[in-house]
Amino acid sequence: MKTKNKILSVILATFMMFNLVACGQNGTSETAGSKSDAVETAGLKNGTYTASQQGHNGPVNLEVSVNEGKISNITVISHSETPGLGDSAMEKLSALMLENNSVNADVIAGATFSSNAIINGVKEALTKAGASEEFLNSGEKISAVTKLDKSEYSYDVIVIGAGGAGLSAAVEAAQNGASVVVLEKTSQTGGNTLVSGGGINIPGSDVQIANGIEDSVEKFIEDTLKGGDNINDKELVGVVANNALDAYNWLVNDIHVEFMQDRIQQFGGHSVPRAVIPVGNKGTEMIKKLETKSKELGVDLYTNTTATQLIVDENSAVVGVYAENDGNKIKFNSNKGVIIATGGFGANIEMRVKYNPAYNEDYKTTCVPASTGDGIIMAEDIGAQLVDMEYIQVYPTCNTQTGIISYVANSRFDGAILINGDGKRFIDEMGRRDIISNAITSQEEKFAYLVWGQEIETVGNMTKVHEKEYKEFVNSDLLHKAETLEELAEFFNIDKDSFVNSINEYNNDIADGSDDALKRGGTLRTISQGPFYIQKVAPSTHHTMGGIKINVQGQVISTEGNIIPNLYAAGEVTGGIHGTNRLGGNAITDIVVMGRIAAQNLTK
349 by DSSP, 3-state: which?
helix
Here's the x/- map for ligand ADP, 371-400, by CB under 6 A: it reads as x--x--------------------------
Here's the x/- map for ligand ADP, 459-478, by CB under 6 A: it reads as --------------------
Applying the rule CB under 6 A, the residues between 538 and 577 that interact with ligand ADP are 571-573
Of 56, 92, 147, 185, the one binding ligand ADP by CB under 6 A: 185
214-222, 236-244, 266-274, 366-374 -> range binding ligand ADP (CB under 6 A): 366-374
- Does 423 participate in binding ligand ADP (rule CB under 6 A)? no
388 by DSSP, 3-state: which?
coil
Q: Which is nearer to ligand ADP, 47 or 375 (CB)?
A: 375
To the nearest whole angstrom, how small is the minimum distance from the Cβ of residue 166 to ligand ADP? 6
Q: Which is nearer to ligand ADP, 66 or 171 (CB)?
A: 171
No. of H helices and E strands in the chain?
19, 22
- Does 420 participate in binding ligand ADP (rule CB under 6 A)? no
| Gap between the terminal Cα atoms of the chain | 28
- Does 439 participate in binding ligand ADP (rule CB under 6 A)? no
CA distance to 84, 202, 303, 378, 395, per residue, from 187 (Å): 11, 31, 5, 21, 26
How far apart CA 599 and CA 243 sit, in angstroms, is 14
Largest CA distance in the chain: 77
- Does 341 participate in binding ligand ADP (rule CB under 6 A)? yes
- Does 414 participate in binding ligand ADP (rule CB under 6 A)? no
Please give the residue whose beta carbon sits closest to ligand ADP in the complex.
Answer: 163
Of 232, 342, 400, 463, the one binding ligand ADP by CB under 6 A: 342
Strand pairing report for 318-325 and 328-340: antiparallel
How far apart CA 464 and CA 36 sit, in angstroms, is 40
To the nearest whole angstrom, how small is the minimum distance from the Cβ of residue 307 to ligand ADP? 4
H-helix or E-strand spanning residue 214: none
Residue type, 601: N
50 by DSSP, 3-state: which?
strand
132 by DSSP, 3-state: which?
coil
- Does 191 participate in binding ligand ADP (rule CB under 6 A)? yes
How far apart CA 60 and CA 53 sit, in angstroms, is 5
Of 75, 186, 334, 397, the one binding ligand ADP by CB under 6 A: 186
- The DSSP bridge partners found for residue 477 are none
Here's the x/- map for ligand ADP, 98-127, by CB under 6 A: it reads as ------------------------------
Number of residues that bind ligand ADP (CB under 6 A): 27
Q: Which is nearer to ligand ADP, 117 or 591 (CB)?
A: 591
Alpha helices in 262-388 (DSSP H): 284-296, 349-355, 374-381
Is the dihedral angle over the CA atoms 78, 80, 83, 89 positive or is it negative?
negative
127 by DSSP, 3-state: which?
helix
To the nearest whole angstrom, how small is the minimum distance from the Cβ of residue 35 to ligand ADP? 49
52-60, 256-264, 367-375, 471-479 -> range binding ligand ADP (CB under 6 A): 367-375
Q: Which is nearer to ligand ADP, 389 or 439 (CB)?
A: 389
Strand pairing report for 563-569 and 555-557: antiparallel
433 catalytic, yes or no?
yes
Here's the x/- map for ligand ADP, 142-181, by CB under 6 A: it reads as ------------------xxxxxxx---------------
To the nearest whole angstrom, how small is the minimum distance from the Cβ of residue 144 to ligand ADP? 16
Closest CA to 129 of 26, 45, 34, 35: 45
CA distance to 449, 453, 486, per residue, from 422 (Å): 10, 20, 14
Q: Which is nearer to ligand ADP, 273 or 375 (CB)?
A: 375
31-39, 184-192, 352-360, 468-476 -> range binding ligand ADP (CB under 6 A): 184-192
To the nearest whole angstrom, how small is the minimum distance from the Cβ of residue 324 to ligand ADP? 9
- Does 415 participate in binding ligand ADP (rule CB under 6 A)? no
Contact 246, 168 (CB under 8 A): no
**The Cα angle at residue 379 between residues 376 and 382, in degrees rounded to 5:** 145
How far apart CA 185 and CA 29 sit, in angstroms, is 40
Residue type, 551: N
Catalogue the long-range contacts made by 553-556 (C-beta closer than 8 Å, 24 or more residues apart).
553/597, 553/598, 553/601, 554/339, 554/594, 554/597, 554/598, 554/601, 554/602, 555/598, 555/601, 556/340, 556/379, 556/384
- Does 343 participate in binding ligand ADP (rule CB under 6 A)? yes
Q: Which is nearer to ligand ADP, 571 or 584 (CB)?
A: 571
To the nearest whole angstrom, how small is the minimum distance from the Cβ of residue 539 to ligand ADP? 19
Single out the catalytic residue among 432, 433, 520, 525.
433
Is the dihedral angle over the CA atoms 117, 286, 433, 373 positive or is it negative?
positive
Residues that bind ligand ADP (CB under 6 A): 160-166, 183-186, 190-193, 306-307, 341-343, 370-371, 374, 571-573, 591
**Active-site residues: which are they?**
433
